């Protein structure tokens, strides 16, 4: 309970003038849900007329009231029901051409009918809204959530009416200097309600959260905890894994909390055998079902061990960009296509950059046998000395771990990417690493750090942040931002740490279909040649235990402006957003296939 109080106290620093979302409900798939996906009416509001009056004070009769004129003389200067429609889930940029580059406020409104039930509580759950979401029901403010890639929920039991109700969400995706991420990113700032929206029905006292994984360093000891929510908190609870012959009885304390340890012989999850078990948790008032897998992950010196066996992580980085149709990825089909390409490449590992991806990606990775690096958007130029910024980052880490802590394929929690070496940054990120370990001791902690040359042919990995990491991440672009591809043949790597290294990024851009010699930039031949030299260098690094080259698929970025080549796309993908494989795809595929032998 101390860790829960610690996280909540950090988050309350962010905003105190709005109610905060309640603690997250674990495992939405295992609950009784009512989807609010589909058509939502929207009002595009760049001046935030629906929120502020002309003195820039919050208007108590803003658009969230969803009022209609009482008579023909009544002046009401908005009408959701006569306004445009956007699909939810989905970003506004790819749905309407006029919103392609839009950053600002859009109001969303959805009406729904509800039949109230006795002894039932009701929550509204958002998979993600980018970036700042103010949520209202029937004209009453529920609260605010900050952060574009993590879920949140509000209880609406006492606020929902019998019959017709309406939800209004004020969504603002303006980039903020004190945001997480901040104003400068190398990916598209897709605005909107980008993931599923559901109503969740639960009993008066329900199983809100639980953690069921193997104990750190063990292959047969399940450990975990469970948290009830409601008025009847002291209950007998059974945790059942029928296939493993487990039926464990525990009792929650007066706060609804209990811990447990269970000894059992299990078939461990691995990329070769992605075994999942059906889990049933029964209390006297609630039942939740889940599918959970079990594996161990640990380091010894510079090696990584999965289920006690050394493993090399054959990976690729992925942005949450939808294949084929473009826009923000969110669906099971998106996940299956992206991860299917990774499997075809020969991967057993993906880095989900640079923020928590949708839950479909995690669950599909679990089913398909793909290990996962999961990251929060502590990226580049965060305001390291601002307590509210840290509280924001801390809350996003909390929500990420809370949602995904039972998904065994996640082996690495990453606390950031390419951050500058300063004392304030190192202190900031050490606190995040400590928080991640406090919340989940069963996984490894990493971050993508930067390096430096100690002489023309030697790169040193000695970032002070490395002291707080279990696995070192390193982004290097030899052959692209640093010399020509052949330079990689001359480079040696050293580190001050006896820890595993993952090359979390390397690569270069190529326009699919542009062919030339290996020295002509933007050609497929140039990119393929770069990968060949990188692979030759990689083979010589004894402490390298994995890599996630940049990147699986071309993705939209407002920083990539070269006409005829980039056209708002980062072209470092091995595959185009239409599914066309570039020459470098096959170079890496051949190398990964050679490692399987």
Q: Which residues contact 208 (CB under 8 A, 6 or more apart)?
A: 23, 25, 26, 227, 228, 229
Which pTM does this prediction carry? 0.95
Q: Return the pLDDT at 597.
A: 73
pLDDT tens digits for range 453-463: 999 999 999 99
Q: Which residues contact 402 (CB under 8 A, 6 or more apart)?
A: 23, 24, 26, 209, 439
pLDDT tens digits for range 490-515: 999 999 999 999 999 999 999 999 99
Strand partners, 38: 88
Token pair for residue 100? 């392609």
As a whole number of angstroms, the distance between CA 365 and CA 377 comes to 21
Domains delineated in the chain: 2-203 (2.60.120.260), 206-295 (2.60.40.10), 299-507+541-551+588-595 (3.20.20.80)
pLDDT tens digits for range 102-145: 999 999 999 999 999 999 999 999 999 999 999 999 999 999 99
Secondary element (H or E) of residue 415: strand 410-417
Closest residue by Cα to residue 187 from 91, 278, 315: 91
pLDDT tens digits for range 212-246: 999 999 999 999 999 999 999 999 999 999 999 99
- Mean pLDDT (whole number) for 374-388: 97
CB 218 within 8 A of CB 203: no
């Amino acid at each position: 309970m101390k860790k829960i109080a610690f996280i909540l106290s950090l988050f309350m620093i962010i905003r105190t003038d709005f109610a905060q979302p309640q603690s997250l409900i674990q495992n939405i798939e295992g609950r009784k849900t009512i989807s609010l996906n589909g058509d939502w009416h929207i009002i595009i509001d760049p001046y935030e007329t629906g929120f502020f009056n002309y003195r820039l004070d919050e208007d108590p009769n803003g658009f969230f009231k969803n009022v209609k004129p009482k008579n023909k003389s009544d002046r009401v200067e908005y009408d959701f029901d006569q306004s445009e429609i956007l699909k939810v889930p989905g970003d506004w940029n790819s749905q309407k051409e006029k919103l392609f580059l839009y950053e600002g406020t859009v109001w969303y409104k959805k009406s729904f009918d509800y039949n109230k039930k006795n002894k039932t509580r009701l929550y509204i759950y958002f998979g993600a809204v980018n970036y700042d979401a103010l949520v209202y029901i029937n004209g009453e403010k529920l609260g605010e959530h900050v952060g574009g890639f993590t879920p949140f929920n509000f209880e609406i039991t006492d606020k929902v009416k019998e019959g017709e109700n309406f939800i209004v969400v004020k969504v603002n995706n303006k980039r903020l200097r004190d945001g997480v991420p901040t104003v400068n990113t190398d990916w598209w700032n897709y605005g909107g309600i980008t993931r599923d929206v559901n109503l969740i029905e639960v009993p008066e006292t329900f199983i809100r959260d639980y953690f069921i994984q193997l104990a750190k360093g063990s292959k047969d000891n399940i450990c975990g905890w469970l948290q009830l929510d409601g008025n009847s908190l002291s209950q007998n609870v059974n945790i059942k894994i029928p296939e493993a012959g487990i039926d464990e009885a525990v009792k929650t304390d007066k706060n609804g909390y209990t811990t447990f340890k269970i000894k059992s012989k299990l078939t461990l999850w691995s990329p070769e055998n992605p075994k999942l078990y059906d889990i049933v948790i029964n209390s006297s008032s609630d039942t939740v079902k889940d599918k959970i897998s079990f594996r161990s992950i640990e380091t010894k010196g510079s090696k990584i061990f999965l289920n006690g066996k050394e493993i090399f992580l054959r990976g690729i980085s992925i942005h949450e960009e939808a294949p084929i149709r473009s826009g923000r990825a969110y669906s099971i089909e998106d996940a299956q296509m992206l991860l299917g390409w990774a499997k075809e490449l020969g991967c057993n590992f993906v880095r989900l950059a640079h923020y928590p991806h949708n839950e479909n990606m995690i669950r599909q990775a679990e089913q398909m046998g793909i290990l996962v690096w999961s990251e929060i958007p502590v990226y580049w130029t965060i305001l390291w000395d601002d307590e509210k910024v840290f509280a924001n980052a801390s809350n996003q880490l909390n929500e990420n771990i809370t949602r995904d802590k039972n998904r065994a394929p996640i082996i690495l929690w990453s606390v950031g990417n390419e951050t500058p070496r300063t004392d304030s940054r190192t202190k900031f990120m050490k606190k995040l690493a400590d928080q991640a370990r406090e919340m989940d001791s069963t996984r490894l902690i990493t971050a993508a750090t930067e390096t430096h040359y100690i002489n023309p042919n030697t790169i040193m990995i000695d970032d002070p942040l490395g002291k707080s990491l279990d696995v070192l991440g390193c982004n290097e672009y030899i052959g692209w931002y640093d010399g020509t591809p052949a330079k990689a043949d001359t480079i040696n790597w050293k580190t001050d740490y006896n820890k595993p290294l993952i090359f979390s990024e390397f690569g270069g851009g190529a326009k699919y279909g542009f062919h030339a010699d290996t020295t002509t930039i933007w050609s497929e031949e140039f990119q393929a040649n770069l990968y060949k030299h990188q692979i030759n260098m990689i083979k010589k690094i004894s402490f390298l235990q994995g890599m996630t080259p940049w990147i699986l698929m071309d993705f939209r970025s407002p920083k990539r402006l070269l006409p005829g080549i980039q056209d708002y796309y980062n072209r470092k993908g091995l595959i185009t957003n239409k599914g066309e494989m570039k020459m470098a795809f096959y170079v890496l595929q051949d190398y990964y296939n050679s490692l399987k032998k």
